[in-house]
Amino acid sequence: MNGTDNEVQLAQALIRAPSPSGRESPAAAVLRGALEELAFDEVVIDGAGNVVGTMRGRAGGPTVMLNGHLDTVPVGDESLWPHPPLSGAVADGRLWGRGACDMKAALACMALAASDVRAAGFRGTLMVSGVVQEEVGGIGAHHMASERRADLVLLGEPSNLRLMFGHRGVVELHVTLPGRIAHAARAELGENALSRAAAFIRALERLELPAGGPLGRSSATPTRLSTFPPDGKNVVPGRADLTIDYRNLPDDPPGQALARVRALDPGAEVEIPEIERVSESGELPRRAPHVVRPYLAPRDHPLVAPVRDALRGVLSAEGRALGEGYWWFCTDAPELATMAPVVLGFGPGEEELAHTTRESVPLEHLRLARRAYAAVALALLC
């Protein structure tokens, strides 16, 4: 499977194996089979459902992990896709389908890059991992990080072939705004929770939030509003529930975000909800606040320079410059950072196409990503 264009074939096989969050086993079986065919020394599916393949080189080297997630968001309305979302179609120089850029193409490139590294010879340990439930809280990465250690993790989230150093976090806030029910024809007899919610949102839009550093500023975006009773079209709402997507900087922890939003209406209830996730087998339940920590990779870490140089070498040979930046979305990097001192990102595909009905990745990106992952591993393991 390590010949030319096989990264496209493996990516197609992964796309054709549906793997919405919590039901990743079809794609896990494809990845496991590919790693076994590529003669990894060990291939396991752990208690969370993650696929982890290990190649061992000569003694005395570091441990490098190439990581991606197996799960995808739902395909949505299939009629809106230019190509069937689970077909892995190749058209217009691109590979199409749910998971194409987020992020099955990267996993395919990582698996084959590891085979290329083995053929070249290396020292240390090289792992390729496909984790579960990244899109819904990261139970897969959390579990894997509790069992394994590495010196560096290279995360393949789509970055348009840029080197990425982190992202803001996210804190989900639920706001309950009380009112008093009345007949809509005599609204003055009640207290309209919807009007209270409108005032709250206006105040939220004027709220000054922390700013500074490479990640820019925190943000607070209202995303959902419900009133109760839900079917009372001629009733003054007695309660309004508001959801806020709060993106935070490292120096803006969840507790401060909570306090800042609570101050907008002392009579409102504001909380960070807890979510419970379990593995596909029903094992490993995890209940935790709906929070993803922000992450900033240490740019002065001694492993950053060889990674940058390796990526720059691959891209410059094709007349491309290496860009650097930060993701505007969250990833598993904060969880992976508990198992490795530095987590960097580099992936094929444009970030803005993830989760859309236009999800696709340029075929050229797959070829370059495979070479880039191999170059990074060889730079660190030789």
Residue 100 included in any domain: yes
**Taking Cα atoms as reference points, which of 139, 101, 235 lies closest to residue 180?**
235
Q: What pTM, to 2 d.p., does this model score?
A: 0.94
pLDDT digits (tens, 9 = 90+) for 107-130: 999 999 999 999 999 999 999 999
Residue 287 included in any domain: no
Domain end residue (candidates: 227, 242, 277): 277
- Distance CA(72)–CA(75), nearest Å, equals 8
Q: Among all chains, which residue has been given the structure tokens 């890059």?
A: 113
Q: Kindly state whether residues 163 and 310 are assigned to the same domain.
A: yes
pLDDT category of residue 82 using cuts at 50, 70 and 90: very high
Q: Kindly state whether residues 62 and 117 are assigned to the same domain.
A: yes
Residue 198 included in any domain: yes
What is the C-alpha R_g of the chain? Answer: 23
Of the candidate ranges 68-77, 174-183, 283-292, the one whose mean pLDDT is the lowest: 283-292
Q: Give 345's strand partners.
A: 155, 164
Q: Kindly state whether residues 272 and 340 are assigned to the same domain.
A: no
Residue 88 included in any domain: yes
Q: Kindly state whether residues 155 and 118 are assigned to the same domain.
A: yes
Query: What is the dihedral angle through the alpha carbons of 26, 28, 29, 32, rounded to the nearest 10 degrees?
Result: 170
Q: Kindly state whether residues 325 and 258 are assigned to the same domain.
A: no
State the distance between the two ends of the chain, measured CA to CA, in whole angstroms. Answer: 24
Q: Kindly state whether residues 53 and 23 are assigned to the same domain.
A: yes
Across the range 172-187, mean pLDDT stands at 97
Task: Reply yes or no on whether the pLDDT at 88 is more than 90.
Answer: yes
Q: Kindly state whether residues 154 and 188 are assigned to the same domain.
A: no
Residue 189 included in any domain: yes
Q: Kindly state whether residues 23 and 140 are assigned to the same domain.
A: yes
Q: Kindly state whether residues 66 and 207 are assigned to the same domain.
A: no
pLDDT digits (tens, 9 = 90+) for 8-65: 999 999 999 999 999 999 999 999 999 999 999 999 999 999 999 999 999 999 999 9
- Distance CA(184)–CA(235), nearest Å, equals 5
pLDDT digits (tens, 9 = 90+) for 185-230: 999 999 999 999 999 999 999 999 999 999 999 999 999 999 999 9
pLDDT category of residue 4 using cuts at 50, 70 and 90: low
State the residue range of the domain holding 158: 6-168+294-381
Q: Kindly state whether residues 147 and 190 are assigned to the same domain.
A: no
Amino acid of residue 323: G
How many structural domains are present in the chain? 2
Residue 1 included in any domain: no
The pLDDT, as a whole number, for residue 380 is: 98
Q: Confirm if 125 and 54 have CB atoms less than 8 A apart.
A: yes
DSSP 121-148: --EEEEEEEEES-GGGT-HHHHHHHHH-
What one-character DSSP code corresponds to residue 53?
Answer: E
> In this prediction, what percent of the chain has a pLDDT beyond 90?
93
Across the range 131-147, mean pLDDT stands at 94
CATH of the domain at 211: 3.30.70.360
Domain end residue (candidates: 251, 277, 303): 277
Residue 289 included in any domain: no
CATH of the domain at 81: 3.40.630.10
Across the range 271-282, mean pLDDT stands at 85
Given 3-state DSSP classes, what are the helix, strand and coil percentages for the chain, each rounded to the nearest 5? Answer: 35, 30, 40
Q: Kindly state whether residues 48 and 147 are assigned to the same domain.
A: yes
Domain end residue (candidates: 277, 307, 334): 277
Residue 54 included in any domain: yes
Q: Kindly state whether residues 93 and 203 are assigned to the same domain.
A: no
- Distance CA(189)–CA(26), nearest Å, equals 57
